[in-house]
Structure 1
Amino acid sequence: MEAHKSFKVECLRYEDAWKLFEEKVGRDILDSHPNIPELVETVAKECGGLPLALITFFSEDYRIDIDQLVDFWICEGFLDEYDGIAARNQGYCIVGTLLHACLLEEEEGNRVKMHDVIRDMALWIASTFENKNEKFLVLAGVGLTAAPSVGTLFLNFNNLDEVDRGFFQSMPSLRVLSLSYNHRLWKLPHAISNLVSLQNLDLSNTRLEKLKESIKCLFDLKCLNLDNTIRLHTIPPQIISNLKKLQVLRMFLCGAIEQEEQSILFGGSELLVEELLGLDHLHLLGVTIRRLKFLKNCFL
């Protein structure tokens, strides 16, 4: 547009926002059903006074943890030209660039969000790829029951209690799987071992009780997120240590207070430390330290 001066345009006050929204929707539509006025008022409030959002209709915002976002990028192969810490630093640099360009908005707690309008534009761009294999599927909170064929699958916030035995059998190319915030999910099927290409597995904020032996078959796994799995009472030996390519392991508030004897979290920290020492590529570890002995063992 050859603009030589930039300045911030404030969002509209609610009264002005509602007037604009009302003009675009039309009085005839607003009066066509008694339930419509209450619904459209809710939609108008969600737009937050942003003029462009007020004249289009889109899904709600979601606050994204920056660390997890970079994890996803690394495991999707977006940062393949970099290695280890360099890839993570480049990811943070990209987030900073997107914030500066106002394509992301900064949130509290090291999080960002994408405005509905920007998000819809991004999904539209992704859907126009000529290469039909380059597809992304986001199904957060939609109650998915059938198994899609994709490379990235977000199933968070779906209120799942368990996953059908055959669900993962047709997904050998899946690289990123997020099952986070399924607060009823308590176990994973043995068929998860079929995800031979999986690089990122997010099980955070679930009620998972035991880490399956089948997970150690995920030889390409780079990121494993077990944050806030406070019902997890069993992590068998030689599962974590078998994930030789693991770069990121998140275990904040991981594990129930009472652990089974065969769990690496049982008793002291010796077994957990032994598992971690076998991970040559691990460069990011998040763990809740319940005993100072854990730190001592780590640095011996």
Structure 2
Amino acid sequence: MTYGIKLIWNPLGLGNQFKKKVVITTRSESVCNLMGVEESVRVAGLETEDALRLFYEKVGEKTVKSHPGIPSLAREIVKELGGLPLALIIIGASMRGKKHPRNWVDRIASLEESRLKGIDEEENLFHRLKLSYDSLNEKSKHCFLVCSLWPEDYFINKIELIECWLGLGLLDLSDARNIYNPGYDVISELLSACLLEEGEGSEEVKMHDIIRDMALWIARDEGKEKDKWVDLKQMGHKKISWSCVERASLTHFSDLRGWLRFKGEGVPLIPCDATNLQFVRVNLPTYNILNTPDLIIRLTAIEPLVQNVSIFSELAFLELGTCSLNSFPQGISELVKLEHLNLNYNRITSVPEELKHVRNLRFLSLRSNCISSFPKGVLPELKELMVLNLYCINWASKGGEEYWTWLIKELSLLSELRCLSIDLRQPTHFRNLLKLSNLPLRTLRLEYQNVTDTLEIPNSFIEKVPNNLYELELKVSSVKKIVIRSNYQNRLGNLESLSFIMGELEIIEWPGNIASEDLLPMLQNLDFYHCKRLDHVSWTIYLPCLQTLILYRCCVHVVQLFERVGGSGAIKPTFPSLIRLELEFLPEMEIICDESITFPSLNAYKMSNARIKHIGRQTRSKRSTLKFQTVDPNRSI
């Protein structure tokens, strides 16, 4: 049962003017006593009818009415759950669609069995919530437990989570079109079971504190092996038997500096005797990344992993992100069991030739590093490689065009490759890449300089990447015109993010036989930066899934930004999914749109332009009743 605690606190002892009242909550009454509270208040569960109403909401009306015996059985379950809201939500979601009374009788029996004696109240709650976990299949169970490796109250990026599952070999990869799809299916299942919650954005999820505690309790063999999975919070409170640790997660904690100073800067977070480690995820904070003292702290924190990673011979999963590394961990070639290696957002300058000995590697991500080239002969040895991320790294290769010729040839030898992220600096690189029979591009950035005034996206490219490409960034300074060659059969059906950073861009030319909403049916995020000469963006208004639209220092000569296209008789809804709109530094714009264009889903905007005279209108919806207004350039609503 939850307790609400009222604590009267007078820190300076100087009279009533300094008296403070602090309210804390805890699931354990012993914590109240430890904190020295003056008054504790036990918070009761929901009353029966309120509890039943919440339970029915999660079960669904169709299920409740599917059999005359279910309502009485539902009341028994609600009684067993004692009015605990979280338990009502979790168990209720697990009973949705269970239309035979036998399912309900079995669940009541399980709840009665879970009412164990001789254990504390928290574990009793875990046993009851675990019933929803038990209803998952084995794959989803493992995926759910992995979610507990992120910190409390942290918004987990769905792609990061799915890539973690991929690295652990937890997903069914039989779908040859997109290896991320099974991960999205698991996330939907966990959301439906209320074991995960939606995050702040559509690409994030989070785990309730109590659900995370339960997941860790399950992962630690129901509390019997407390050192099996560890995180920074646990490290700060108890001595760990590192020889028992199998998974360690040190990610996104904001108090790294203070923690290390308290423990002593010479104390590594993961010591050399953690020889049974199978999974390590380190993602250090990004503050003051160039500050020397912080660099020392970062390297001290993971010193054994960097200086001699071969000690941890059982490692199958290694992530060292944002750790200020200048090179690969030493001894990487000895990790014969390693399948997932993520070294994103570091300062690594070269890839060691020894990497070719890690032959079980299936996932390799080197995003946002300073790598100048990839050693010849390494990629063909990584025959199991399925995911390769070389996006946003310094490709100032020493070998020039010859280097790119053999690199693309080696990519063609990776028969298992299902997902490639890369950025290209020359049109010839792009043309050579198109020669590959298998082109599993997920993320592509074209960053050309002073090459031509027209950039063509050929139909052959669209034909090869319809189910793979999710993110495309075009950063070509000299281009005035983009020509998209496509037909109705070939479209970028899974592209979700599109960015233009093109100072000379004037026009985007679409083929006459296909509309933008047909070519980009799944586009969610669209950004324009410094496209000062762009004449209009009206083609965006019918994109069915567009959620975020940003124009920054664009369309400098445009007076009205959006106009209906397709003739006056067009009745298609405009901006049906747009949630966020940012318009900054569009100096000549006076009209955003006319009254015929609506924004039914908009709930966040940022605008800076004092010349605006007319702004169209916004239809009311459940999600938003906002109206446009001009705001200070630095103010975001």
TM-score computed with the length of structure 1 as normaliser: 0.70
CA separation of 1:167/1:106 partners in 2, compared to 1, >3 Å: closer, same or farther? farther
CA RMSD between the two structures? 3.7
Q: Is the 8 A contact 2:338 2:360 kept in 1?
A: yes
Out of 226, 237, 240, the position equivalent to 2:379 is 240
- Tell me which amino acid in the other structure corresponds to 1:138: S
1:114-167 per-position Cα deviation (integer Å, ceiling 9, x unaligned): 233322221111001689789432233565241322211112217237744763
- Work out whether 1:123 is the aligned partner of 2:211: no
Matched residue SS, 1:214: helix
CA distances 1:37-63 after superposition (whole Å, capped 9, x unpaired): xxxxxxxxxxxxxx97xxx9x953333
- Map residues 34-49 of structure 1 onto 2, 5 A cutoff: none
CA distance in 2, matches of 1:116, 1:212: 41
CA distance in 1: counterparts of 2:390 and 2:269, whole angstroms: 27
Give the alignment partner of residue 114 of structure 1, picking from 207, 217, 233: 207
Tell me the alpha carbon deviations over residues 75-120 of structure 1, each in whole angstroms, 9 at most, x when there is no partner: 3232368575576432221011112223223343733332333222
Structure 1 unmatched ranges of 5 or more: 1-17, 33-50
Q: Which residue of 2 aligns with 1:203?
A: 343
CA distance in 1, matches of 2:185, 2:152: 26
1:168 equivalent in structure 2? 309
CA distance in 1, matches of 2:202, 2:345: 17
The answer as to 2:35 corresponding to 1:29 is yes
Q: Call closer, same or farther: CA 1:115–1:292 in 2, change over 3 Å.
A: farther
Which of the residues 397, 412, 426 maps onto 1:291?
Answer: 426
Q: Secondary structure at the match of 1:169?
A: helix
In structure 2, the residue matched to 1:44 is none
8 A Cα contact 2:391 2:422, kept in partner: yes
From 188, 193, 200, the equivalent of 1:96 is 188
- Cα deviations by residue, 1:217-239 (Å, 9 ceiling, x for unpaired): 1101011111111x222322222
Q: Using the alignment, how far apart are the partners of 1:171 and 1:251 within structure 2? A: 26
Letter in 1 for 2:215: A
How do 1:1-300 residues align onto structure 2 when only pairs under 5 Å count? 19=23, 21=25, 26=32, 29=35, 59-79=151-171, 82=174, 88-107=180-199, 108=201, 110-128=203-221, 135-140=246-251, 144-147=269-272, 148=274, 149-157=276-284, 159-160=298-299, 163-164=303-304, 167-182=308-323, 184-229=324-369, 231-255=370-394, 259-261=396-398, 269-300=404-435
Asked if the contact 1:234/1:260 (under 8 Å) is kept, the reply is yes
Q: Deviations over 1:161-195 (max 9, x none)?
A: 7744763223222111010121x211124311111
Work out the CA distance in 2 between the residues paired with 1:248 and 1:178. 14
Contact 1:190 1:214 in 2 (8 A): no
CA distance in 1, matches of 2:164, 2:338: 11
The structure with the largest alpha-carbon Rg is 2
CA contact (8 A) 1:106 1:113 kept: yes
Counterpart amino acid of residue 297 in structure 1:
N
- Counterpart CA distance in 2 for 1:189 and 1:134 is 21
Task: Give, in whole Å, the separation in 1 of the partners of 2:246 and 2:384.
Answer: 25
C-alpha distance in 2 between matches for 1:240 and 1:114: 37
Distance 1:198 1:266, change over 3 A: farther
Task: Assess if the C-alpha contact under 8 Å between 2:372 and 2:398 holds in 1.
Answer: no
Aligned equivalents of 1:245 and 1:238: distance in 2?
15
* Alpha-carbon separation, structure 2, partners of 1:75 and 1:180: 15
Kept in 1, the 8 Å contact 2:152–2:207? The answer is: no
Alignment length (residue pairs): 256
- Secondary structure of residue in 2 paired with 1:179: strand
- Per-residue CA deviation, residues 198-244 of structure 1 (Å, 9 max, x unaligned), is 11100011111111112111101011111111x22232222233211
Identity, in percent, stands at 29
2:409 aligns to what SS in structure 1? helix
Q: What do the CA deviations read for 1:17-75 (whole angstroms, capped 9, x no partner)?
A: x746399765983789xxxxxxxxxxxxxxxxxx97xxx9x953333332332232233
Q: 1:19 to 1:111 in 2, by over 3 A?
A: same
Letter in 2 for 1:179: L
